[in-house]
Amino acid sequence: MKRALTIAMLVLLAMPLLYAMSQLPPHGSATSPAYTHISPRYLERGPEEAGAENVVTDVILNYRGFDTNGEVTVIFTSLAAVLAVLLAGRKGDERPVREPAAEPSPPSVVVRFVVRLLGPFVTMFAVYVIINGHVSPGGGFQGGTVFGALVILITVVLGRSVAEKLQPLGVRRILQAAAPLTFVAVGVLGLALFGDYLAFPRDEALAWVRTSWLMVIEIGIGVGGAAIISAIFWQMGGDR
Amino acid sequence: MSAFEALTNALAAVLCVVGAFFFFVGTVGILRLPDFYSRTHAATKCDTVGAGSVLLGLAVLEGFTPAALKLIALAALVLVSSPTAGHALARAVYRGGMAPWTRPGHRSGGEPK
Amino acid sequence: MSELFDLVLIALLIACALAVIRTKDLLGAAIIFSTYSLVLCLMWQHRGAPDVAMTEAAVGAGVTTVLFLVAIGRTVRREK
């Protein structure tokens, strides 16, 4: 009885949804509203209007900056939630519960050397991805994740104490919150100077301001992403 | 097509075919070899020589462009990282106490610790 | 040719997804899931979304797998 009722409810729910779907333009249709109004404008005027050569960056950080601001905040909140769960019932801040008593198999000289050799190159690649997100695919999220992966690698191979030097304890909280903080900072700057939260200057002479603000947000997202990833890894106890 | 172009195309083709061959051999090795160590060995060959020479072949095909430079950088990265990964895997497993495979009937080289 | 490539990728994707569900060894499942992410990344790239492809490669195939491995290391390896 209950099951029949459930199925009937689902069918009732599915019918208006299917009806609405039948009204949608066909998948991939070039004449659907989404492709005839907003997209051409983004594609044609994005680079000059929003401040980055890469249209994806324009859309994410400028046209849809408010959405991304929310997303960044959600990611930061999820970190807070994960840390709260992992830290529950523990004393102390972010210290490990116990130091590893005896490493069963310390990483060999070869692995240590290669990690030391590749570290600078990986860092360079991460910075390149972040900065070059303006003219080619890439950006803060991707570059930050690459750097976070490097921190994980260093933690596993060279030890957590070496990796932690990259994020001094005093500023670690600020680094973890870097993405929402820079976003809000740029937003408030826009509010103060141009009258709207996250407003970018429209003046043609101020194109460099648009570009540099986008750059600042990208760097903030990158730093924050890397800090969050490494914090979750450390807190899960991945170093032992 | 100039002679130089023909030469570089041929070189690129040879490098790509060599890479594909090593990928094939490595895959067969992963499927057929008897124990963990030899399979790791085969998998590392795949990455190092296979991917390395395919990338070099593509770089030759590309000519003197930034893209070719990136491809060469990728090949160098694979050349360094893949053997290291293989080494780390084999070392961790050996320290974990797995004895290498020996032919049945022969005296084994060492008992698992 | 391009459509054939797409079809191969989709077949691989479905195979990986089924394998992840059916594998009882969680370590193996984590590795297969990373393969799944890699195939998905190729698909994004092939569909003309390199930004998403980079995110997929870095987050899906890289960091998520590491976090899975850590979690498995701190719990049990076999699914009951």
Measured in angstroms, the CA of C63 and the nearest CA of chain A are apart by 6
Q: What average pLDDT does chain A have? A: 80
Nearby residues of A165 by Cβ (< 8 Å), 6 or more positions away: none
> Closest to B88 (Cβ–Cβ): which among A104, A107, A117?
A107
pLDDT the model gives residue A8:
94
At A151, the amino acid letter reads V
Residue A98 has pLDDT above 80, yes or no: no
Number of domains composing chain A: 1
CA pair distance A52, B59, nearest whole angstrom: 29
Q: Is the pLDDT of residue A199 over 80?
A: no
CA angle, residues B95, B97, B102, in degrees to nearest 5 = 115
Q: How far is CA B65 from CA A52, B59, B69, B71, in A?
A: 24, 9, 7, 10
Chain B residues within 8 A of A118 when measuring between CB atoms: 77, 80-81
Q: Is the pLDDT of residue A97 over 50?
A: no
Domain region containing A190: 51-90+108-235
ipTM: 0.83
With an 8 Å Cβ cutoff, is B77 touching chain A? yes
Taking 90 as the threshold, does the pLDDT of residue A39 lie above it? Answer: no
Contacts of A59 (CB under 8 A, 6+ apart): A42, A46, A50
Interface residue C7 vs chain A (CB under 8 A): no
Please state whether at least 3 CB pairs lie below 8 Å between chains C and B.
no
Tokens of A160: 């957590």
Q: Cβ B88–A104 below 8 Å, yes or no?
A: no
Write out the two tokens for C44.
């994004």
Instruction: Give the closest-approach CA distance of A226 to chain B in angstroms.
Output: 22
Domain residue spans in chain C? 2-74
Cβ of C75 under 8 Å from any chain A Cβ?
A: no
Residue environment code for B44-60, b if the CB has 16+ CB neighbours within 10 A, otherwise e: bbbbbbbbbbbbbbbbb
- Cβ-nearest to B84 among A104, A110, A121: A110
Which stretches of chain C drop beneath a pLDDT of 70?
A: 79-80
Question: What pLDDT shows up at residue A99?
Answer: 45
- Residue B42, burial from CB neighbour count under 10 angstroms (0-12, 13-18, 19+): buried
Whether A91 shows a pLDDT value over 60: the answer reads: no
Residue A234 pLDDT > 90: no
Contact A118 B92 (CB under 8 A): no
**Mind listing the pLDDT tens digit of every residue in chain B (113 residues)?**
688 888 888 999 999 999 999 999 999 999 988 888 888 888 888 888 899 999 999 998 888 888 889 899 989 999 888 999 888 888 888 887 777 777 776 655 554 44
Are A110 and B87 an interchain contact pair (Cβ–Cβ within 8 Å)? yes
Q: Which C residues, 8 through 47, put their C-beta within 8 Å of a C-beta on chain A?
A: none
Q: Do B84 and A107 touch (CB under 8 A)?
A: no
Handedness of CA B101, C73, C69, A99 (dihedral sign): negative
Question: Is chain B in touch with chain A: ≥3 Cβ pairs within 8 A?
Answer: yes
What integer is the mean pLDDT of A22-32? Answer: 77
Q: With 90 as the cut, is the pLDDT of residue A10 above it? A: yes
Lowest mean pLDDT among A1-15, A47-61, A133-147, B26-40: A47-61
**Residue C9: exposed, middle, or buried by beta-carbon count in 10 A (0-12, 13-18, 19+)?**
middle
Q: Which residue has the higher pLDDT, A99 or A159?
A: A159
Q: Is B113 on the interface with A (CB under 8 A)?
A: no
State both tokens at A123. 């860092």
Say which residue, A93 or A236, is predicted with more confidence: A236
Domain spans of chain B, in order of start: 3-95
Per-residue model confidence (pLDDT) at position B113: 43
Burial of residue B98, with CB atoms counted within 10 A of its CB: 0-12 exposed, 13-18 middle, 19 or more buried: middle
Distance from CA of B111 to the nearest CA of A (A): 18
Q: Are B77 and A114 within 8 A, CB to CB? A: no
A38 or C10, higher pLDDT: C10
**Which chain C residues have a beta carbon less than 8 Å from that of A142?**
51, 54-55, 58
Which tens digits make up the pLDDT trace of A112-150?
888 889 989 999 989 988 888 777 777 888 888 899 989
Any chain A CB within 8 A of the CB of C67?
Answer: yes
Proportion of chain A above pLDDT 70, given as a percent: 91
CB proximity A97 to B under 8 Å:
no
Give the C-alpha separation, A219 to A69, whole Å: 14
Question: Residue A139's Cα: distance from chain center in Å?
Answer: 9
How many angstroms separate the Cα of B26 from the Cα of each of A133, B80, B93, C4? 37, 18, 20, 25
Q: Do A118 and B95 make contact, defined as CB atoms within 8 angstroms?
A: no
Rg (CA), chain A: 23
Q: Pseudo-torsion of CA B8, B26, B89, C77, nearest 10°?
A: 130
- How many C-beta atoms surround the C-beta of residue B30 within 10 A? 16
CB contact under 8 A, C62 and A237: no
For B26-33, the CB contacts below 8 A with 24+ separation are: B26/B50
Give pLDDT tens digits for A205-230: 777 777 888 888 888 888 888 888 88
Contact across the interface for C50 and A146, Cβ inside 8 Å: no
Residue C59: its pLDDT value, please?
A: 87
Q: Give the mutation candidate from B84, B91, B93, B113 for the A interface (greatest A CB count, under 10 A).
A: B84
Secondary structure of residue C78 in the 3-state scheme: strand
Task: Please check whether residue A121 touches B, CB under 8 A.
Answer: yes
